[in-house]
Structure 1
């Protein structure tokens, strides 16, 4: 009988194609010694699956070899799987791979588990050598390159395996028939491997910092065509720097052409090239025009030059990102800037100033991720020198260590910075007090960083609202690790607790010294009126007595209700300057504008679906600002509205 080999992938989300396992199976199948003597199977399940059910399914397979992919988001689950299988199938062999376990066999394998090995690099070549030893009947794992394992109480680590330099040695798992048709909805595509950068927080480049090796153009085109013809809804381009190579423009066009011909995919995501703003703007425009992309990520990480130098990212210029963001804004394409808090060298002050500067540059959306201490990165290697302190996210699925302190930030300052971001997210990204913040900044009344600090302090002082409680729990319990956390904030402040949030904003504003300024009150009222709806819903006027704006409802097209707003001229000019009205420069004298909350591509709230599902939808919408922002247009034919000015 052939040796049965089961690849186990526990993915972050449902129905994601297991590319890493596909590569290893395709590479092993072509080997004349291994391929004919092994039967391969890929088992994939999301980390949200029931662990007991997954373990029982894997036990029933009674495989001779289990190869388990291990990442930060699934390692707790993977350890449970390994423990159960190892106990009940003592004669099986196990090989673990992935960035979480590489060079860390001592943490994940017990000395008595001599039938468990850890792969310390790329899997294809190591997997074939490993299977040859298994097939021999008397494995000599010390002859396998790039692994660690226990023998007689000693941890043995063999010489590193050579990287795959010619990627065409690895057959395409798409066109070679590895993947079961109709089983997956999200494809992962890799057109090259390697990263020339060595960012200290990232395993991608920090662990390799090597020349980028490419698959041949026709191979990539064929893979894209296969993905399209097999009805994959979305595709993630897994290159470290999509857009770095000139060919990426033409490959992007091919992707759009395939979508137009076959109807799939309908969505594309990527990690954008770090220093190619013009090329990325061209690629983004192609994808947006093709309907496959709604927002472009810009991975800035920090505005501090000291921080960028300390994390080996100083060769990636912030100006590159801000120029790309400006170009996308001019083309009316949504974008979002990604930051990490707290990186080495970043102080609470530099972090706040950096965010405020990005707001002044009119960034669409700012996403701040917590820093995770990842294995095999240079920050991990220098963690003691950098004073890195971590707390682990409570979970039986992940092993995420969130950085809560460095030599530049203590635990209290880490929390202050996280509270600060919740203020920025709710007031700037979600437009809670967007116009007011800009008015105060431009009038010289209150700088943006001080305004958001004031709001964060106020939110923290409130213990009687569900929104403030959610912020507090997210800060204290590390809920911000969850990718859906910021979508949950959007769900709360723009939908389920909208009225409660209105009340928070009113109470905060009335307690500030600038409330005496009529212009500030007018900007505040404009924020209450124009705050967007993230779901498809009928706009409801806020319960607030307007004193500075004249507001009148009118029937719009398709049964919608719009608002005609009579406002001070300087406030109308601010709208135009912030580039959110669609009005042209020179129309600053307009003081009557019609506000409309468009349908766009919004979905209605789905009460029958889980809260997590709705939060996931909201998270996607947060990244696509222009999908849900209200629109303005001049109303010259409307008579002057009654009411105070």
Structure 2
């Protein structure tokens, strides 16, 4: 294979450049390769590079191992330049691929870029001596300069003229060049969507990704100790133009992108965000896509934010709102550098969103310096009083963050992940390893039972009618799993033991059957219920179990023999004629308002989306497969179509 493009009188043999990107962890679907799309778009827009180089994106799902990636990358020869978008979950795999590449092409270049390696060249070169260059900031202006250096006959040991990188000179000395200023005019970057750098059509003519990724701006004005956000924390936010974003939305809508995920730090903060939403809704009205919007919402809520949420609700656009509280303890907030971030009236905000039937999640971090088990659980239960769907993440120390720089001050004890390169916090000056061990089990079962919505309304009933806080229920489940002697529970315990708490191994979900839940309820919850609340709370628990998805096997066969009916243009399993002493959804809604209501006997049918369980990823989107009553079904589709 040639090491330089050969463009003499004969056919031009182009230099091969491979851009490698991989989705998060065990996700079985390849995500849209936005980061590498920007690099390819910049290369394609450069006449010299485009004429002499063949730049190709290789995009992999999160569950693809390094062995398979190596075979696919190198089976038809090997590139001259191999570039990786490196994050904590693919750091080790990409290091292994760099080693394989250098065996095949010792003179080839290996370039690492991405949040996990920026400004970490000393460690990267020590762990992976096959890496030649580390990019320390935004890659779009750096990448073409590196390609030109290659075409000019340079070597990766003499890149002193390229700003924003680290490399090693011939003698091994580490060189970090002058920092490159951040891109002010984002429209100067060619669009990876409009340019065609990212394929928008798969082999069967469909949109090839589970969701579309899009940036409307870059930067974040905050400096949270746990966050790096692409090196743009504590900086002015820079926006793409409305015209460019509208054109990208049009193309995504035309290609029927099912969901839109924004890579923004604080959507809803800028006045332009409302314009973007207006354009998104106009595109959706024309094409029917994208159907949903996910993003990191603004921490402080303006009048524009409430208008955005109202418009989403009015349009019936499926979305969820995540309010990133992280902690409610003042000492922890101070160390986290979030005391100046007003999470204004978050309790009223959750109520406002819940009344409008929008999915609301609150987000907390376990293990932050300053936090104790007691302060954390108090904050968790305060959050759960307003919505039971509380996402709890285990603290990881990321490179270039405040926690990373103050690890000795806080007494941080960490361990690197077995399958990734993140540093997980085991202990610090306010948390022992024993605390962390028990709370790790809490995170696991909170992720399944509450955050994953395996149970739905019973949290409210237990709290309001029986006085049992949500943290007590989750911890009780964790303790029951640890001690129960039943064989099915033992299998569940074994599967959960290897899971990282806030992710949960896919093997856990199928084992958490209704039979297991009923056994837990009888052994650990029912004895706690006061007599006056027993029948009502158990009615809500039975309703929750009936709402759980109908599981299907690998061949698509349902676990239960239920008829399939056609409603609103799709197939549903039907469970008919279920009787209750209460209108349970109305009861739960009343309890959330601080009211009690009266028993109202009713009979209803349940409708379940077909196809749940054939793909393990379905368990992470369980709420989309929950059973709906006749009234809930009509209400949902009226919101979408009416």
TM-score by length of 2: 0.82
Using the alignment, how far apart are the partners of 2:116 and 2:452 within structure 1? 35
Deviations 1:204-226 (A, max 9, x none): 17753211111111011111111
SS at match of 1:242: coil
Instruction: Report the number of matched residues.
Output: 589
The verdict on how the C-alpha distance between 1:492 and 1:289 changes in structure 2, with shifts beyond 3 A counting, is farther
SS at the partner of 1:480? coil
- Say whether residues 1:100 and 2:116 are aligned partners: yes
Q: For the structure 1 residues 448 and 177, does the alpha-carbon distance in structure 2 shift closer, same or farther, using more than 3 Å as the test?
A: closer
Query: Do structure 1's residue 316 and structure 2's residue 336 form an aligned pair?
Result: no
Q: Distance in 2 between matches of 1:205 and 1:69?
A: 12
Secondary structure of the residue aligned to 1:227 is: helix
1:182 maps to which of 189, 195, 201:
201
Q: What is the SS of the residue equivalent to 2:98?
A: helix
The equivalent residue for 2:563 is none
Secondary structure of the corresponding residue to residue 266 of structure 2: strand
Contact 1:111 1:150 in 2 (8 A): no
* Structure 2 residue 548 is the aligned partner of structure 1 residue 534: yes
**What is the Cα deviation at residue 422 of structure 1?**
4.7
Alignment match, 2:436: 414
Q: Is the 8 A contact 1:101 1:120 kept in 2?
A: yes
Counterpart selection for 1:366 from 386, 390, 395: 390
2:9 is aligned to: none
Measured in 2, the distance between the counterparts of 1:503 and 1:187 equals: 41
Counterpart in 2 of 1:352? Answer: 377
Alignment-derived partner of residue 189 in structure 2: 170
Cα distance in structure 2, aligned partners of 1:593 and 1:630: 15
Partner of 2:144: helix, strand, or coil?
A: helix
The aligned residue for residue 618 of structure 2 is: 617
Residue 382 of structure 1 corresponds to 406
Checking the alignment, whether the CA contact within 8 Å between 1:372 and 1:401 is kept in structure 2 is yes
- 2:268 matches 1:243: yes
In the TM superposition, what is the alpha-carbon distance from 1:349 to its structure 2 partner?
A: 0.3
- Measured in 1, the distance between the counterparts of 2:581 and 2:72 equals 65
Q: Is residue 2:538 matched to residue 1:525?
A: yes
Instruction: Pick which of 411-420 and 278-287 moved more.
Output: 278-287
The answer to whether the 8 A contact 1:433-1:527 is kept is no
| Residues 191-238 of structure 1, C-alpha deviations (whole Å, 9 max, x = no match) | 111111111111117753211111111011111111222232322111
- Distance 1:575-1:8 versus aligned 2 partners, 3 A rule: closer
RMSD: 3.4
Separation of aligned partners in 1, 2:340 and 2:60 = 39
**1:637 aligns to what?**
none
CA distance 1:222–1:629, shift in 2 (3 Å): same
Three-state SS of the structure 2 residue aligned to 1:236 is strand
2:15 maps to 1:3: yes
Q: 1:39 to 1:411 in 2, by over 3 A?
A: same
Q: Cα–Cα, structure 1 residues 437 and 241, in superposed 2: closer, same or farther, change >3 Å?
A: closer
**1:193 and 2:218 equivalent?**
yes
Distance in 2 of aligned mates of 1:111 and 1:437: 47
SS state at 2:111 partner: strand
Query: In the superposition, relative to structure 1, how do residues 9 and 421 fare at CA in structure 2: closer, same or farther (>3 Å)?
Result: closer
**Could you say what secondary structure the match of 1:561 adopts?**
strand
Name 2:103's counterpart in structure 1.
87
- Inter-partner Cα distance in structure 2 for 1:431 and 1:47: 24
Say yes or no: does 1:458 pair with 2:465: no
CA contact (8 A) 1:10 1:45 kept: yes
What are the Cα deviations for residues 450-474 of structure 1, in whole angstroms up to 9, with x where unaligned?
4554444333322535446535653
Alignment of 1:78-227 (within 5 A): 78-110=94-126, 113=129, 116-139=132-155, 140-151=158-169, 152-183=171-202, 184-185=208-209, 186-204=211-229, 208-227=233-252
* Conserved 8 A contact 1:200-1:206: no
Q: What is the distance in 1 between the residues matched to 2:550 and 2:226?
A: 39
Given the superposition, is the C-alpha separation of residues 344 and 195 from structure 1 closer, same or farther in structure 2, using an over 3 Å criterion? same
Gaps of 5+ in 1: 541-556, 634-645
> How far is 1:442 from its partner?
4.5
Change (3 A) 1:166 1:433: closer
Whole-angstrom distance in 2 between the partners of 1:33 and 1:209: 37
Contact 2:606 2:627 in 1 (8 A): yes
Q: Distance in 2 between matches of 1:574 and 1:231?
A: 39
Per the alignment, residue 19 of structure 1 pairs with 34
Q: Distance in 2 between the 1:318 and 1:629 partners? A: 33
What secondary structure is seen at the aligned counterpart in 1 of 2:435? helix
Post-superposition offset of 1:595: 5.7
Q: 2:564 aligns to what?
A: none
For residues 435-474 of structure 1, what are the structure 2 equivalents within 5 Å? 441-442=463-464, 446=468, 448-450=470-472, 452-467=474-489, 470=492, 474=496
| Deviation sequence 1:103-143 (CA, Å, 0-9, x none) | 22222225994771111111011112222221211343111
Residues 245-254 or 453-462, more deviating: 453-462
Deviation at 1:597?
6.1
The 1:603/1:199 distance shift into structure 2, 3 A limit, reads farther
In structure 2, stretches of 5+ residues that fail to align are: 1-5, 7-13, 203-207, 552-557, 561-571, 633-642
Shift in Å, 1:57: 2.9
